[in-house]
Structure 1
Amino acid sequence: MKKVQLWSLIIIMIFATGCVEKEILDDVNLETAAGYDYIDKKVRGSALVPVFLPDKTVHNTVFTASSNLSRDFLRDIQRQSSDPIVTGSLEVVLFGEKMAKKGIVDIIDAFQRDASIGTDIYLAVTEGPSKKILEGNYSKRGNAIFISNLIRQNIETKDVPKTNLHLFLSSYYQKGKTAYLPTIRSIGKNKIEISGISLFKGDRVVDTLPAKQMFFFKLLVDNYSKGTFKVDMKTEKAAVESIRSKFKMRLVSRKPLTVGINIKIRAILIEYSGAKVTTKEIKEIEKSLNETIERECTKLIKRFQEKGIDPVGLGHFVKSRTRKFDFKTWEQTGYSNLKVNVKSDVMITESGVIE
Structure 2
Amino acid sequence: MGRKGRNGSSFFTSLTASFIAAIKKEGGVVKKLFVFLITVVLIGCNDQHIVEDVGFVQALGMDKTEKEDKFLVSAIVPQIEPDAENEREFLTTVSDSDKEATLSLSRQSNREIENGQLRNVLFGKEAAMKGIAEQIKTMNRDPIFGTRVKVSVVNGQAYELLSKPYTQHPQVSVYLDALLEKESKLQMTAETRLHQITRDLFEEGIDPIAPVIKIGGDKIVLDGIALFDDDKYVDKINPVDARIFFFLHGSFSAGAVHLKLDEKVNGGKVQLLFDSIRNKRNVKVKKAASPENIKIDVEINIKGALLEYNGPLDITKNQDLRTLEKQLGKSVEKRAEDIIQKLQAKQVDSLGIGKKVRNSLSYDQWNRLDWQEIYPNIDIVPHVKAEINDIGVYS
Superposition TM-score, scaled by structure 1 size: 0.91
Secondary structure of 2:369's partner? helix
Please say if 1:23 is aligned against 2:49: yes
Partner of 1:296: 335
Partner of 1:230: 258
1:121-200 pair list within 5 angstroms: 121-138=149-166, 139-140=168-169, 142-188=171-217, 190-200=218-228
1:25-64 pair list within 5 angstroms: 25-41=51-67, 42-52=70-80, 54=82, 59-64=87-92
1:311 to 340, 350, 353: 350
Please say if 1:326 is aligned against 2:366: yes
Question: Is 1:225–1:243's contact at 8 Å kept on the other side of the alignment?
Answer: yes
One-letter code of the match for 1:8? K
Deviations 1:144-175 (A, max 9, x none): 11111111100112411332111100100101
2:275 to 241, 251, 255: 241
One-letter code of the match for 1:113? R
Structure 1 residue 58: deviation in Å? 6.5
In structure 2, relative to structure 1, the CA distance for the partners of 1:55 and 1:274 (3 Å cut) is farther
Partner of 2:315: 277
Question: Is 1:52–1:58's contact at 8 Å kept on the other side of the alignment?
Answer: no
In structure 2, relative to structure 1, the CA distance for the partners of 1:4 and 1:152 (3 Å cut) is same
Question: Is 2:97–2:135's contact at 8 Å kept on the other side of the alignment?
Answer: no
Question: Is 1:306–1:336's contact at 8 Å kept on the other side of the alignment?
Answer: yes
In structure 2, relative to structure 1, the CA distance for the partners of 1:3 and 1:240 (3 Å cut) is farther
In structure 2, relative to structure 1, the CA distance for the partners of 1:6 and 1:217 (3 Å cut) is farther
Question: Is 2:228–2:234's contact at 8 Å kept on the other side of the alignment?
Answer: yes
Structure 1 residue 100: deviation in Å? 0.4
Please say if 1:253 is aligned against 2:287: yes
60-69 or 42-51, larger mean C-alpha shift: 60-69
- C-alpha separation in 2, matches of 1:225 and 1:7: 59
In structure 2, relative to structure 1, the CA distance for the partners of 1:53 and 1:70 (3 Å cut) is closer
In structure 1, runs of 5+ residues without a counterpart are: none
Question: Is 2:307–2:391's contact at 8 Å kept on the other side of the alignment?
Answer: yes
143-152 or 256-265, larger mean C-alpha shift: 256-265
Structure 1 residue 329: deviation in Å? 3.0
In structure 2, relative to structure 1, the CA distance for the partners of 1:296 and 1:91 (3 Å cut) is same
Deviations 1:190-218 (A, max 9, x none): 21111111111121101211112211111
In structure 2, relative to structure 1, the CA distance for the partners of 1:271 and 1:7 (3 Å cut) is farther
In structure 2, relative to structure 1, the CA distance for the partners of 1:43 and 1:238 (3 Å cut) is same
Secondary structure of 1:94's partner? strand
- C-alpha separation in 2, matches of 1:214 and 1:69: 33
Structure 1 residue 13: deviation in Å? 4.4
Partner of 1:262: 299
- C-alpha separation in 2, matches of 1:354 and 1:56: 56
- C-alpha separation in 2, matches of 1:3 and 1:57: 59
336-345 or 46-55, larger mean C-alpha shift: 46-55
Deviations 1:109-132 (A, max 9, x none): 222222222123111100111011
In structure 2, relative to structure 1, the CA distance for the partners of 1:58 and 1:321 (3 Å cut) is farther
Secondary structure of 1:352's partner? coil
Secondary structure of 1:61's partner? strand
Structure 1 residue 72: deviation in Å? 2.2
- C-alpha separation in 2, matches of 1:155 and 1:109: 24
Q: CA RMSD in A?
A: 2.5
Question: Is 2:326–2:385's contact at 8 Å kept on the other side of the alignment?
Answer: no
9-18 or 177-186, larger mean C-alpha shift: 9-18
Question: Is 1:31–1:85's contact at 8 Å kept on the other side of the alignment?
Answer: yes
Question: Is 1:168–1:179's contact at 8 Å kept on the other side of the alignment?
Answer: yes
Structure 1 residue 263: deviation in Å? 1.2
Identical aligned residues as a percent: 26
- C-alpha separation in 2, matches of 1:205 and 1:251: 28
Question: Is 1:161–1:221's contact at 8 Å kept on the other side of the alignment?
Answer: no
Please say if 1:350 is aligned against 2:390: yes
Structure 1 residue 81: deviation in Å? 1.0
Structure 1 residue 26: deviation in Å? 0.8
- C-alpha separation in 2, matches of 1:28 and 1:341: 54
Structure 1 residue 7: deviation in Å? 4.5
Please say if 1:95 is aligned against 2:119: no
Which protein has the larger Cα radius of gyration, Structure 1 or Structure 2? 2
- C-alpha separation in 1, matches of 2:99 and 2:84: 34
- C-alpha separation in 1, matches of 2:54 and 2:208: 35
Question: Is 1:157–1:227's contact at 8 Å kept on the other side of the alignment?
Answer: yes
- C-alpha separation in 2, matches of 1:267 and 1:98: 39
Superposition TM-score, scaled by structure 2 size: 0.82
Aligned residues: 354
Question: Is 2:190–2:225's contact at 8 Å kept on the other side of the alignment?
Answer: no
